[in-house]
Copies of this chain bind each other. A is one copy, B any other.
C-alpha cells in the first residue's frame, strides 16, 4: 500500500486478563457488583424478565432465528449486540473466577447461537427472522457487521477465559463467510458497516485464532471506508433498483466517518461511539501492521478530540441529535450528550494509543474517562444507568424543555436501545487489562493505572508477580511489591499522572530518582529481587481546572478535580440555584473521606459566595443594583456519584471570580 510507510513501531503488549487479579477498595466492590448483580440482572433483561423495564427480546429473537419459537422479531436491528456484550462480560468475569452456574447459562446460549447460525455461517437474528432474503442490502443503517463484531469480541473473551472453542468456532465460521461476501474480488461487495465495530473485533479474532485473513478483512473494511465511488451510494442504488428495503433517513456521510478515506480524516466527526470504535480499529491496524501512516491519522484525530471536543469528564459527543461530535469547543454542559458508550470507546482507543506511543497523555485521558464519564453511567448499586451524562442538570428545565429531552435527571433501569449498560459491565469486568502492559523486548513492565491488584508476568521465562496496593483514587500513594524466585534485571515503568504536580518514588523505603522519565513514565531499571518494594507518592491536591477560553459554556468558570476524579456540586449539599455559587480564584478546598456517603467517597469542602436573593415579592427580574453576596459553605462530591440520592440540580463547572 503506497501510503503505508513501514517503521519500527513496537507497541506494548496487553497482559491477558487472567494474569491480573484486582483487589482494590474502590474497584473490587464494583467488579463484584457487576458479576453478582449486573450480569444476572442483564441476563434477566435479555430475557424480558425485569418488571417495568422496556422488553429486550434478545434471547427470544435468537430462538426465533433457530426456529425454536414462534412470533415476531422485536427490538432494534442491533439487538444481537446486547447478547454479544453480555457474553463478553461473562467471559471477562470467568477470567477472574470460574463459575459453573454462569458458565452453564453461557454455554446454553452459545448452543442456541450455534443453532441460530445458518448453514453458510451467517448469524444475525434480525435478518434471519425478519428479512431472510435481504442480507447485506443495507450496511449503512442495519448494523449487520456491528452485531457480528460484538459476538466476535465475546467469543474471544469467552475462549480466553474458558479455553472452550465452540463459540470461537461459530464466530470464525461467520467471519469466514463474511470474508466471502466482502472484498475486492469480482462479485464481492466493496462495503463496510455504517457502525464500525467489526473492524476491531476481527483484529481480536485474528489474535485469538491466528487466522490472518481476519486481520486482512479488518483492514479491507477500514481502508474501503469513505472511498469513491461511495459504497453507501452504490448499495442505495441497488436497493432502489430492487425496490427492496427502504433505507433510513439519509444522513451526511461524516455521521458514519465515511465522508473520506480514513487516512485523510483530520477531525473527529459524526456519531461519537462509531468514531472511537473506528479509531480503535485504526490504532489496532497501525500496531499489527507497523503502519506509521495509520498511526499518524490516529494521532491527528486524537488531538482533535482531546484538544477541541472532549468534556473535562472525558465525555465526548456534545450533540443529542445524531449522538455526535459537533464543531470545535462546542461543549454545552446542560445539553451534553456524552453517551456512556462514547466514553467507554474513548477508553478503548486511549489504551491502544498508549500501547503504540507509550505516552502518559493517553493514560491520563483513559483514566479521566474511566473515573468520570464512564463511571457516571452506572448507579452505585449497579442497577440503573445513564445513557446521557450531562455536566449540569436543572431538573425543572430538563424535564420541561424539548431541546433537553435526552437529559435524564435520574438513572433509568434499562433502555429500549440498551447499548450502554452491557458496555459498562464489560469494561469493568475487563478492567484488569488496562492497568499494566508488557514490553517484552525491553524487559519492561508498565504500570498505567493505580488500582490494587496482582499481576503475573514473566522475565526470561521465569514468573514474576507484582502486587499493587493503593487507596486510589482517594489517595495518591501506591506501593508495588515484587515477588520472584530469583533476582532478575528488568525495568518497571510507572506512570507519573499528568494531574500530579509532585511525585516521590521510594525503593526499599529510600527516596529514589528514576533512571529516566520518558513520556511521563518513570523508568526504574534494576536487578529486582523478591520482596522489593516501590512506594509511589503522588501529590493529590484539589485543582481548579479552567477550560480553553473558546469553550463558551465554561467562560469564567472552574471545575474541581482531585487526582483523576472530577467533582460536582449537587443541590442536596448546596441548595438550589447552583449557578449562583461563586468561588474566588484562590479558594481552598479540604478533601476528606466520608465513609457513610455514597458508598464511601472523598468530598471537597470549602467556602464560596452567593447572591442574597431578593424576596419574591420585590419581584424584579432585572435590576441595575449589584446583588449583595454572602459566604456559603460549598461541598463537592465526585461527579460519577451524582444522582444517587434525591433528584436535584447538579453542576460540574462553578463560577469563579
Q: Which A residues form the contact surface with B (CB < 8 A)?
A: 303, 306-308, 310, 312, 319-322, 326-327, 330, 335, 394, 396-397, 400-404, 543-552, 555-556, 559, 577, 579-580, 582, 585, 610-611, 613-614, 619-627, 655, 657
Contacts and interface: CB of A to CB of B under 8 A. Distances in A.
Contact of A621 (B308, B321, B555, B579): B308
Contact of A303 (B394, B555, B580, B619): B619
B626 A585 contact: yes
Contacts of A626: 546, 585
Contacts of A580: 549-550, 552, 555
Pairs of residues from A and B, 4 with the lowest C-beta to C-beta distance, nearest first: A321-B402, A552-B579, A403-B403, A549-B611
A403 B555 CA distance: 21
A597 to B, nearest CB: 26
Contacts of A322: 402
Nearest to A586: B626
A620 B401 contact: no
Contact of A401 (B321, B404, B555): B321
Contacts of A613: 548-550
Given A556-B655, A579-B555, A330 B401 contact: yes
Q: Which of A307, A555, A614, A626 gathers most chain B CB within 10 Å?
A: A555
B549 A627 contact: yes
A327 B399 CA distance: 10
A244 to B, nearest CB: 30
A485 B554 CA distance: 66
Contact of A319 (B327, B401, B624): B401
A396 B327 CA distance: 7
Contacts of A330: 394, 396-397, 400-401
Contacts of A310: 621
B582 A403 contact: no
A307 B396 contact: no
Contact of A320 (B321, B327, B403, B614): B403
A404 B552 CA distance: 15
Count of this chain's copies in the oligomeric assembly: 2
A619 B307 contact: yes
17 contacts: A310-B621, A319-B400, A319-B401, A321-B402, A326-B400, A394-B552, A403-B404, A545-B624, A547-B621, A549-B577, A549-B613, A551-B621, A552-B580, A555-B579, A556-B556, A556-B655, A559-B622
A402 B327 CA distance: 12
Contacts of A657: 657
Given A307-B621, A330-B396, A548-B613, 7 more contacts: A403-B404, A546-B624, A548-B620, A548-B621, A549-B611, A550-B580, A556-B556
Contacts of A624: 543-546
B655 A614 contact: no
A550 B585 CA distance: 23
A608 to B, nearest CB: 13
Contacts of A545: 622-624
Q: Which of A610, A622, A626 gathers most chain B CB within 10 Å?
A: A622
B546 A623 contact: yes
Q: Which of A548, A549, A556, A580 gathers most chain B CB within 10 Å?
A: A548
B400 A327 contact: yes
Contact of A306 (B303, B312, B621): B621
Contact of A622 (B548, B611, B620): B548
B622 A403 contact: no
A306 B620 CA distance: 8
Q: Which of A310, A326, A549 gathers most chain B CB within 10 Å?
A: A549
A222 to B, nearest CB: 27
B546 A627 contact: yes
B622 A312 contact: yes
Contacts of A400: 319, 326-327, 330
Given A326-B397, A621-B307, A403 B335 contact: yes
A546 B613 CA distance: 12
Nearest to A611: B549
B549 A610 contact: yes
B550 A577 contact: yes
A580 B546 CA distance: 13
Contacts of A559: 622
B614 A548 contact: yes
A598 to B, nearest CB: 25
Contacts of A621: 306-308, 310, 547-548, 551
Contacts of A308: 621
A655 B307 contact: no
Contacts of A401: 319, 321, 326, 330
Nearest to A322: B402
Contacts of A611: 549
Contacts of A548: 613-614, 620-623
A394 B549 CA distance: 14
A489 to B, nearest CB: 38
A655 B555 contact: yes
Contacts of A614: 548
A235 B569 CA distance: 49
Contacts of A303: 619
A322 B613 CA distance: 31
